[in-house]
Structure 1
Amino acid sequence: MSEDDFSSFANEMRGVQRLVHDRADTGKPRTDRRQIAERRAAAQVSNQTTTVDGLSDQFIIDVGAEDELYWARNGVQDTQIRKLKAGQVPFDGSLDLHGMTVEKARITLWDFLAEATRFEIRCVRITHGKAARLDGRRPLIKSHVNTWLRQHPQVLGFVSCQPRHGGTGAVYVLLKRTMLEGRDE
């Protein structure tokens, strides 16, 4: 290097300070692995509790996006379930659980079924969706609804809907009726 080159270089570097550390600042805060692990553990614990409403998450029956759902309580006539599956039992109420968290869906479903029971509704439709999850696992709300409806005391049975009513993304739900006083049925 000539004296002239060294002088030019020194001139260009005037005012520049040496870096104290050798890592670039990416602008992203470092992840706290301990905090992430604690959050994951807390999420797992909360999913394994039974809430006051009686709908438990202790054992969820995983179902696929295109799986048809079918369940009937012991003693329910096959003809009733066949009519339900064929869409021959009119539904008088409908609930859409799309975009809800699991806990919000549980509360909304419980309240909806309580109201349907209070009004002596025989059949309702629940739209749970069938969205494939980003992590490749089974549909979350659909799997939970499949499990919860089996636990609900007012549910006699349920089947996946006809394509015109949501197909495998919704279910018709047959409910018990307590028969209001003075009703002729």
Structure 2
Amino acid sequence: MQDDDFSLFQAQLKGVKPIKHDRADTGKPKLDKTKLATLRQNATVRDNSIKVDGLSDQFVIDVGTEDPLYWAANGMQESQMRKLKLGQIAFDGSLDLHGMNVEKARDTLWEFLAEACKLEVRCVRVTHGKAARIDGRKPMIKSHVNTWLRQHPQVLGFASCQPKHGGTGAVYIILKRTMMDGRDED
């Protein structure tokens, strides 16, 4: 009886080729070890030039300790910028960046401007300081603030403050407002 089973089994296997390896085919593509190594390497490289917030440090405009800051977006009215520069537009919020490193100042400034925009604030003051450095280099936070504000999508313009509000160690910033129409006529 065993011979009959064996001959039946052999008859069923006629034309079947033996498997050359003992691993199952899961259908997954084989790993490209070179590509995997490249992906792992790229994941460990830190890119400091562009932050998620959109503010770039790739090109920072160096400014001196006493240099006045001034910038207006395209289409910004000269009369409004003149009022801003003269301190004639009341600021509704203030932020002091003294003593912060560049990364902390950047995050704090971004959060402050986001909150001001959310509250539909028209004008704010940011104190960046002058940071006259012993090594003779330009003030770091002031230079970065000057660069970041030009990139921020909600900033229409900025100007160094009047002496009573911080002079060249601070800026008035005029912001876009979208929700409350008709409030921009000061």
Distance 1:120 1:46, change over 3 A: same
Q: How many residues align?
A: 139
Structure 2: give runs of 5+ residues left out of the alignment: 1-44
What residue is the counterpart of 1:147 in the other structure? 147
Question: Given that residues 47 and 57 in structure 1 are in contact (C-alpha distance below 8 angstroms), is that contact kept between their aligned partners in structure 2?
Answer: no
If the length of structure 2 is used for normalisation, what is the TM-score?
0.72
What residue is the counterpart of 1:95 in the other structure? 95
What residue is the counterpart of 1:57 in the other structure? 57
What residue is the counterpart of 2:76 in the other structure? 76
What residue is the counterpart of 1:176 in the other structure? 176
What residue is the counterpart of 1:167 in the other structure? 167
2:54 is matched by which residue type in structure 1?
G
Mapped partners of 2:168, 2:113: distance in 1: 20
Distance 1:47 1:124, change over 3 A: farther
Structure 1: give runs of 5+ residues left out of the alignment: 1-44
Mapped partners of 1:47, 1:140: distance in 2: 20
Mapped partners of 1:131, 1:123: distance in 2: 24
How far residue 132 of structure 1 moved from its aligned partner, in angstroms, is: 1.1
Question: Given that residues 47 and 58 in structure 1 are in contact (C-alpha distance below 8 angstroms), is that contact kept between their aligned partners in structure 2?
Answer: no
What residue is the counterpart of 2:118 in the other structure? 118
How far residue 134 of structure 1 moved from its aligned partner, in angstroms, is: 2.4
SS at match of 2:132: coil
Question: Given that residues 62 and 143 in structure 1 are in contact (C-alpha distance below 8 angstroms), is that contact kept between their aligned partners in structure 2?
Answer: yes
Q: Which stretches of structure 1, 4 residues or longer, exceed 2 Å deviation after superposition?
A: 45-48
How far residue 135 of structure 1 moved from its aligned partner, in angstroms, is: 1.7
SS at match of 1:117: helix
How far residue 184 of structure 1 moved from its aligned partner, in angstroms, is: 5.6
Mapped partners of 2:105, 2:145: distance in 1: 9
Question: Given that residues 63 and 142 in structure 1 are in contact (C-alpha distance below 8 angstroms), is that contact kept between their aligned partners in structure 2?
Answer: yes
SS at match of 1:132: coil
How far residue 49 of structure 1 moved from its aligned partner, in angstroms, is: 1.7
Mapped partners of 1:164, 1:105: distance in 2: 23
Deviations 1:90-141 (A, max 9, x none): 0000000000000000000000000000000000000000011122100000
Mapped partners of 1:138, 1:46: distance in 2: 26
Percent identical: 74
What residue is the counterpart of 1:107 in the other structure? 107
How far residue 65 of structure 1 moved from its aligned partner, in angstroms, is: 0.1
What residue is the counterpart of 1:19 in the other structure? none
2:141 is matched by which residue type in structure 1?
I
Deviations 1:58-104 (A, max 9, x none): 00000000000000000000000000011100000000000000000
1:151 is matched by which residue type in structure 2?
Q
How far residue 156 of structure 1 moved from its aligned partner, in angstroms, is: 0.1
Distance 1:184 1:142, change over 3 A: closer
Larger radius of gyration: 2
